[in-house]
Amino acid sequence: MTIKDTPEEWEVRATETPFKGNKTSVRTDDVVMPDGSVVRRDYQVHPGSVAVLALDAEDRVVILRQYRHPVRQKLWEIPAGLLDIPGENPLHAAQRELYEEAHVKAESWGVLTDVYTTPGGCDEAIRIFLARDLSEVEGERFEVEDEEADMELARVPLGELVRGVLAGDLHNNCLVVGVLSLVAARQGDGLEALRPAGAPWPARPFEA
């Protein structure tokens, strides 16, 4: 048996959107189950996101600390952001986020992993990139606002982040998945075996 997620779509008898927000919305579908019954499923509709695990020459990861109101915590995270433009190339979005949040650029890019954050209640898909060969961006920093105005930046050794994840001290999903994926890739076929930065992403198709 091949262990691989596969596309499938069950019949939807009715759908409505009881809430529309600035970036996301809530959808209610009446879905036909295998036994013929119809059940109601509510979920968040999300444009998708990208995240960047930026690794410098000293094996440190670029991370930032930001307030997240839903969980009432300041979380250490890797640079990330929404796919604001439908069909946007996710690599371009990731490069933009790395510049805007960390004022850093990278020469080497690959795909670490693709994940659904909470597939039981949200259709958000995230592509996490590995960025290497880092350098500071010249010129003025991108102007930040709202929660980002209070953001802190740091470069932390990869091993320290692994320990923080396993100790339950770090909780941001992109950081957790990105850090552990990097360790797994190194212990497996190596970083050169990662998918290229422009690899297809069926969850969020894009123009090459």
Active site residue ranges:
148
Say if residue 181 is in the same domain as residue 83: yes
Mean pLDDT by 10-residue block, N- to C-terminus, for the chain (208 residues)?
94 97 95 98 97 98 96 97 90 96 96 97 98 88 63 96 98 98 98 97 91
What CATH code is carried by the domain that includes residue 58? 3.90.79.10
Q: Are 126 and 51 contacting, i.e. CB atoms less than 8 angstroms apart?
A: yes
In a domain, 184, yes or no: yes
Say if residue 63 is in the same domain as residue 38: no
Say if residue 105 is in the same domain as residue 79: yes
For residue 146, what pLDDT is reported? 56
DSSP state of 55: B
For residue 143, what pLDDT is reported? 65
In a domain, 110, yes or no: yes
For residue 141, what pLDDT is reported? 62
List the alpha helices (DSSP H) in 103-171.
158-166
For residue 104, what pLDDT is reported? 96
For residue 197, what pLDDT is reported? 97
In a domain, 38, yes or no: yes
- Number of folded domains in the chain? 2
In a domain, 1, yes or no: no
Distance CA 87, CA 15 (A): 24
What is the domain range of residue 25? 12-45
